[in-house]
Structure 1
Amino acid sequence: MSADFLFELGTEELPPKALKTLMNALREGIAGGLDTQDLDYNAIHAYASPRRLAVLVRDLAEQTPVKEVVTYGPPAKIAFDQDGNPTKAAEAFASKNGLSVTELTTENDGKADKLVARSKAGGQSVVELLGDIVNDALAKLPIAKRMRWGASRTEFVRPAHWLVMLYGDEIVDAEVLGLRANRCTRGHRFHYNHELDLFNPSDYLEKLASTGYVLADMDARRDLIREQVDAEAKKVGGTAVIDDDLLDEVTALVEWPVALLGNFEKRFLNVPAEALIASMKEHQKYFHLVDAQGKLMPHFITVANIESDDPEQVIDGNERVIRPRLSDAAFFFDTDLKHTLESRREQLKPIVFQKQLGSVFEKTERIAALAKQIAAQLGADEALAERAGTLCKSDLVTEMVLEFDNMQGIAGYYYARNDGENKDVAQAMQEQYLPKFAGDALPETTTGAIIALADRLDTITGIFGIGQQPTGSKDPFALRRASLGVLRLLVDKQLDLDLRTLLEQAVAQHTGLTDTDGLVDRILDYMLERFRAWYEDAGIPVEVFLAVSARKVSNPLDIDQRVKAVHEFYQLPQAQALAAANKRVANILAKSGAPAGELDPALLQESAEKALAEAVQAKATLVEPLFAKRAYTEALTQLADLQEPVDAFFDQVMVNAEDDKLRNNRLALLQQLGDLFLAVADISLLAPAKG
């Protein structure tokens, strides 16, 4: 037999940004509790709204499964004496299992005849277990800070006010967070502020919606909001920009969503759109609209938690609220335009970047100098790079950024354009922070990419140079993210730069470093190690990366080209045999030492060694120009043809010949063979380890 089970906890308004996480964790917690008890059920669903968390379990078994428990006891020869009477061992075993000796049987466990106790376990009523299962799931919810209410010692994320627990049409006799379970839920705080009796779990969603004005299904509520917002946007010929995080937050703020279209004065469109959007989105939870060209429109959409008889009043109230917000943004913008980014540099001097590394002003000086050097290496405009580096942090002291911190860089772009700076310099103000996260866009301009590199390299070298490098999971200066940003810029922007050189130049800009022993090597190893996870995420085996890493190349673009080439080679049918052969070559040379002198063709005796020498020479001539232009994939494909002569050599030729000259000449041949592959990677590391 089975029935549906409903749990609903009514609370004061739950934190909107955490609601979805709490809902999913509650479902997983209750499911885990049911599974631990081996309770069968058909499906489990979680629901949430600002004032409730709920779980509905379909077709939950009414009791735990009954199982036979077989327990082996002492051997029969110990359990009974010579007359067949039970010994103390038999009596103790029977007592331990709650049976009489006569209820025990004797069976062979495959080794000897032993006493056996057979009993039944399980069959416990589900309603006796549900209270503990729910309490355990609530205790495990990911709540950073729990609160108490009233005189109770009970703790939860918000005060709890009602509790519904139904199994079928019966109330589960349980207590949760100091509340006794019943069948009374509550409707919408304004539309239906009354108790609402539930008589069957399957009626939960429908009854709350039809009578209580509550859409408890968070996914359905989210879809409805998206549909309503899109419909309102179409009324003015616009498209609503629906950010998923904002949509989740709005969904968590309302139980009965009603989307409403509001307007603001067109004069505000003279303010950077990003500031207006930030004000609408962050402060008011409004969705903004754009036209067919992607430009911001003077409208917004709010989602009310009430179906008003006079929606115009609600709209007017929201318009009144947003107007001073936008007025503030306009005032900040107009005020900032009166001062150039150049004139603000003095204000950066009192702002500490890091107490041992100086002020933000000093950081911009270092960025500018390093950016100029990077531009020279790339053949880019050094003056533009230096200028962009000089101005790159000036917007941090503007009114706009002080009010809207997400305008950092964006404000700098607008102010640089207003100051008449070169368009690439202006663009670099914004692009210096790209990429902000994995998969984020990269700078479009070369100047922007140079500043993005210089800024990160300055931070990385400075923090490492004062002994504050990441340890374990602690990375307070986000150096892992900065390192990945540098690698992405160099690889994806195809910037042919040596990372070791860049680090040396960055270190040279600092004056207060205290941990300088082997500094560049330590930073280089740390940064290039980020490549390992990068390639693993791309599905490239770690041994491919290690084969390239063994060559100690420090140009990330070159490393990427080698890794991709070795990965393709790795998939060729000849790859394993050649990897094994190179491993054998490496072992032989390691034991014998480097050969003295060059290969002497006159000392080649066996046909197999002559064939290999000829093939190696031919391939060397062929691949050297390919190596020169980094056509590694094509080069390794050509070298794959060496499998046959290599196999024949090891089958037919004794490398360690008794004649010293002959042995040394064969070692020289193997050295040439190994060097061909080592020009790209140490492919001996592709050979599987012998286990």
Structure 2
Amino acid sequence: MRTENLLIELGTEELPPKALKDLGSSFAIHMQAALEGAELAFENITWYAAPRRLAVYVSGLVESQQDKLVEKRGPAVNAAFDEQGNPTRAALGWAQGNGISIEQAERLVTEKGEWLLHKAHVPGQSVNDLLESLLHQAVSKLPIPKPMRWGSHATQFIRPVHTLCVLYGNEVIPVNALGQASGRRILGHRFHGESWFDLDHADNYLPALKQHYVVADFHERAEVIRERLESTADSLTLKADYNTALLEEIASLVEWPVVMTASFDEAFLQVPKEALIYTMKDDQKYVPLLKSNGSLANTFLFVSNIESLDPSQVISGNERVIRPRLADAEFFFNTDKKVTLESRLESLGTVLFQKQLGTLKDKSERISALAAFIADQIGTDSDQSARAGLLAKTDLMSNMVMEFPDVQGVMGKYYALHDGESEQVAQALYEQYLPRFAGDELPSHPVSAAVALADKLDTLVGIFGIGQLPKGDKDPFALRRAAIGVLRIIVELSLPLDLDTLVSKAIEVYGDKLTNGECQTQVVDFVLGRFVAMLQDQGINIDVIQAVAARRPTRPADYAARISAVAMFKTHETAEALAAANKRVANILAKNNVESDAVVSELLLGEAAEVALYKALTEAKDIVNAAAASQDYAAVLTKLATLRDPIDNFFDHVMVMADDEQVRSNRLALLALLRQLFLTTADISLLAKA
């Protein structure tokens, strides 16, 4: 069967840059699903996206579906004919629906009976016949939150569509979609060369567009920009400051990327670099340049969409654009310094944190009290922590943060230092929001950690405390992120903190504002639930997590230590046998309702195997308890691994359910002692076979 390569391109007005990559990849995903659903075979599908176009390229697409032999079962034979052998209405209706006579029907015989059968030959439909419907399917599923209409069209799309190119090899497939009839027309660059041209063949899409100053491949365009940013920065002995998100957004704004260098007045460098970087990146999509010591240079890079005959004009234009933005930042900074952070406390009382939970001033006072409590728990300066907590939100009332919200915390640090606050307080104002995302840095000082934890716990407890638990993907107060932040700080900084204690204190600080009586348990369970998800993301086996979770340790650092020890223990040669023995013990104890604190009487130990097990358990108990007290769970499990032989010997030679009630109870108590020792770290019985 003939195969060709298919190109579908939607030529549009400028598409939203932050959505471009998702639109392109979604177009390919849904087009692939539509082709597969229609049983049209192909080799591969690739997507292209630029500011004024979305396209998919399908290689090796067959020209039509395979012919099919479809079996259409009719009524059962005993229902298809009456007693005289005449066809019933059901049989006649079925035959007529299939375009045959009753005499032409075949018979299908199975173990369950006999039915009428028609084997219909269904010829495959061609790409030409199917493509319009398939394109509609794919387009209708694109992630477009706010579709728009244009002109007199009733059609809706994310932006007006001006061209629709659909080529199967060198042939145009007739399709109508989004108010356009298909053809060969392709939009060129808006400013360079011809405004449009006719494409002769699907395979020539990318090279033809490059001749018209368009790099249609999103990834190629981003890589070109990255290479040119890096090489230009290297030539200036500076470092380009950008991330993947900024790079992809710039790539979504230009079709023919040209990297240029510009500069601004050095006087602006008196403003904290974070504010300048924010306005350059977020407002203008410029790429700041950093010196080797991390300070900001007054030179920056930008990506133009045109290859100008007079680049100096483009450069000076961009320099004129950035100057007023930097001047605003300079003005805000100088104005804000005239007022201390402490003096802004009262103004926080005019801003609501949450209707039932009070103002930002209320929240600041709670953070202060909770931070001091946490500081005492971890052995750092409680006065400094309380002070930092009190001032934590004051920079939100500054002109700079109101204009550039992303520099909250950062500006608090600069203003605190200007006001004469201690270095610890100033640093805590910046680090209170850490970690902000997965993989982000953590607070660098215990005072900062105390404030960061207090802020996150106050939000968690407050929102849970008024019954507004996150549901599904709805989490307006970012409680999941807060919980993960709490866990990362405690675990990665090895802080000796207990979630139960912290949540209880946070509830106490709230006073009578909270209405949810289940708040304590719900918050702790929620945070522990996030811990399970984190551990799974780290590749920890689910049975290891379940074994530890069964003990519900509420000290995150302790929880992590148990996970590490159990994961290592699972690889031990005795692990499988001990897990099986623990499962057996747990089942026996559950069936007989044995109390965990049942006492073993040495006088009732008669069999040599049970005496040996009791002796081994007694010797192990002190070692296990001492190791567990210091969170050396590897030592705990190493010691428990030595119990395999006495445990196996016990089950081989001792009848637990003895006829003598006292002996039976004593043996069950012995198993309870064994069970409690193993539960010191985790529920080993939950470990799966390796």
TM-score > 0.5, shorter chain as reference: yes
2:358 paired residue number? 358
2:179 paired residue number? 178
Aligned positions of 1:71-470 closer than 5 A: 71-73=72-74, 92-100=93-101, 103-106=104-107, 108=109, 115-210=116-211, 212-470=212-470
Residues 186 and 511 of structure 1: is their aligned pair in 2 closer, same or farther, counting only changes over 3 Å? same
Q: Is the 8 A contact 2:596 2:673 kept in 1?
A: no
Deviations 1:569-623 (A, max 9, x none): 2333322332333333334444153399743323321111111112112222332
Q: Which amino acid aligns with 2:11?
A: G
Aligned length: 687
Residues 42 and 635 of structure 1: is their aligned pair in 2 closer, same or farther, counting only changes over 3 Å? same
Residues 108 and 546 of structure 1: is their aligned pair in 2 closer, same or farther, counting only changes over 3 Å? closer
Q: Which amino acid aligns with 1:63?
A: S
Secondary structure of the corresponding residue to residue 208 of structure 1: helix
Q: Which amino acid aligns with 1:284?
A: Q
Unaligned runs of 5+ in 2: none
1:54 paired residue number? 55
- Deviation, structure 1 residue 686: 3.5
Q: Which amino acid aligns with 2:286?
A: Y
Q: Which amino acid aligns with 2:149?
A: R
Q: Which amino acid aligns with 1:620?
A: K
- Deviation, structure 1 residue 401: 0.5
Deviations 1:623-650 (A, max 9, x none): 2321221111111121012122112212
Residues 582 and 6 of structure 1: is their aligned pair in 2 closer, same or farther, counting only changes over 3 Å? closer
Q: Is the 8 A contact 1:356 1:512 kept in 2?
A: no
Q: Which amino acid aligns with 2:528?
A: L
- Deviation, structure 1 residue 364: 1.3
Q: Is the 8 A contact 1:432 1:451 kept in 2?
A: yes
Q: Is the 8 A contact 1:357 1:512 kept in 2?
A: no
Give the Cα separation in 1 of the matches to 2:568 and 2:88: 74
Q: Which amino acid aligns with 2:632?
A: A
Residues 368 and 598 of structure 1: is their aligned pair in 2 closer, same or farther, counting only changes over 3 Å? same
Q: Which is worse superposed, 90-99 or 100-109?
A: 100-109
Give the Cα separation in 2 of the matches to 1:430 and 1:604: 64
Secondary structure of the corresponding residue to residue 164 of structure 1: strand
Residues 86 and 375 of structure 1: is their aligned pair in 2 closer, same or farther, counting only changes over 3 Å? closer
Residues 496 and 200 of structure 1: is their aligned pair in 2 closer, same or farther, counting only changes over 3 Å? same
- Deviation, structure 1 residue 478: 1.7
Give the Cα separation in 2 of the matches to 1:61 and 1:152: 33
Residues 586 and 86 of structure 1: is their aligned pair in 2 closer, same or farther, counting only changes over 3 Å? closer
1:648 paired residue number? 649
Q: Does 1:488 align with 2:488?
A: yes
Give the Cα separation in 1 of the matches to 2:160 and 2:418: 52
Secondary structure of the corresponding residue to residue 307 of structure 1: coil
Compute the TM-score of the two structures, normalised by the length of structure 1.
0.94
Q: Which amino acid aligns with 1:557?
A: A
Give the Cα separation in 2 of the matches to 1:596 and 1:470: 39
1:10 paired residue number? 11
- Deviation, structure 1 residue 442: 0.7
Give the Cα separation in 2 of the matches to 1:558 and 1:31: 48
Give the Cα separation in 2 of the matches to 1:407 and 1:242: 16
Residues 596 and 359 of structure 1: is their aligned pair in 2 closer, same or farther, counting only changes over 3 Å? closer
Secondary structure of the corresponding residue to residue 642 of structure 2: helix
Q: Which amino acid aligns with 2:22?
A: T
2:561 paired residue number? 561
Give the Cα separation in 1 of the matches to 2:475 and 2:90: 62
Q: Which amino acid aligns with 2:23?
A: L
Give the Cα separation in 2 of the matches to 1:581 and 1:409: 54
Deviations 1:396-422 (A, max 9, x none): 111110111000000011111222222
Residues 567 and 389 of structure 1: is their aligned pair in 2 closer, same or farther, counting only changes over 3 Å? same
Secondary structure of the corresponding residue to residue 261 of structure 1: strand
Q: Which is worse superposed, 565-574 or 104-113?
A: 104-113
- Deviation, structure 1 residue 89: 6.9
Q: Which amino acid aligns with 2:406?
A: N
Residues 477 and 85 of structure 1: is their aligned pair in 2 closer, same or farther, counting only changes over 3 Å? closer
Q: Which amino acid aligns with 2:268?
A: F
Q: Is the 8 A contact 2:596 2:676 kept in 1?
A: no
Q: Which amino acid aligns with 1:424?
A: Q
Deviations 1:366-417 (A, max 9, x none): 1111111111122211121111112111111111101110000000111112
Residues 502 and 80 of structure 1: is their aligned pair in 2 closer, same or farther, counting only changes over 3 Å? closer
Q: Is the 8 A contact 1:341 1:394 kept in 2?
A: yes
Residues 628 and 195 of structure 1: is their aligned pair in 2 closer, same or farther, counting only changes over 3 Å? closer
Give the Cα separation in 1 of the matches to 2:363 and 2:114: 83
Give the Cα separation in 2 of the matches to 1:305 and 1:73: 65
1:19 paired residue number? 20
Compute the TM-score of the two structures, normalised by the length of structure 2.
0.94
Q: Is the 8 A contact 1:265 1:298 kept in 2?
A: yes
Residues 134 and 420 of structure 1: is their aligned pair in 2 closer, same or farther, counting only changes over 3 Å? same
Q: Which amino acid aligns with 2:438?
A: A
2:677 paired residue number? 676
2:634 paired residue number? 633
Give the Cα separation in 1 of the matches to 2:412 and 2:634: 43
- Deviation, structure 1 residue 469: 2.6
Give the Cα separation in 1 of the matches to 2:9 and 2:601: 87
- Deviation, structure 1 residue 82: 11
Q: Is the 8 A contact 1:596 1:664 kept in 2?
A: no
Secondary structure of the corresponding residue to residue 643 of structure 2: helix
Give the Cα separation in 2 of the matches to 1:87 and 1:480: 65
- Deviation, structure 1 residue 192: 2.4
Q: Does 1:533 align with 2:507?
A: no
Q: Is the 8 A contact 2:598 2:672 kept in 1?
A: no
- Deviation, structure 1 residue 232: 2.5
Residues 86 and 374 of structure 1: is their aligned pair in 2 closer, same or farther, counting only changes over 3 Å? closer
1:515 paired residue number? 515
Give the Cα separation in 2 of the matches to 1:297 and 1:275: 14
Q: Which amino acid aligns with 2:340?
A: T
Residues 471 and 257 of structure 1: is their aligned pair in 2 closer, same or farther, counting only changes over 3 Å? closer
- Deviation, structure 1 residue 214: 1.5
Deviations 1:445-467 (A, max 9, x none): 11110000111111222222222
Q: Is the 8 A contact 2:597 2:672 kept in 1?
A: no
- Deviation, structure 1 residue 72: 4.2
Give the Cα separation in 2 of the matches to 1:86 and 1:369: 89
Deviations 1:315-339 (A, max 9, x none): 0000011111111111111112222
Deviations 1:253-285 (A, max 9, x none): 111111111011111111111111111111111
Deviations 1:182-235 (A, max 9, x none): 11112111112433111111111111211x222211111111112222232233
Secondary structure of the corresponding residue to residue 302 of structure 1: strand
Give the Cα separation in 1 of the matches to 2:116 and 2:593: 68
- Of all paired residues, the percent bearing the same amino acid is 48
Residues 9 and 477 of structure 1: is their aligned pair in 2 closer, same or farther, counting only changes over 3 Å? same
Give the Cα separation in 1 of the matches to 2:310 and 2:223: 25
Deviations 1:50-72 (A, max 9, x none): 11111222222111111222334
Q: Is the 8 A contact 1:258 1:305 kept in 2?
A: yes
- Deviation, structure 1 residue 548: 2.8
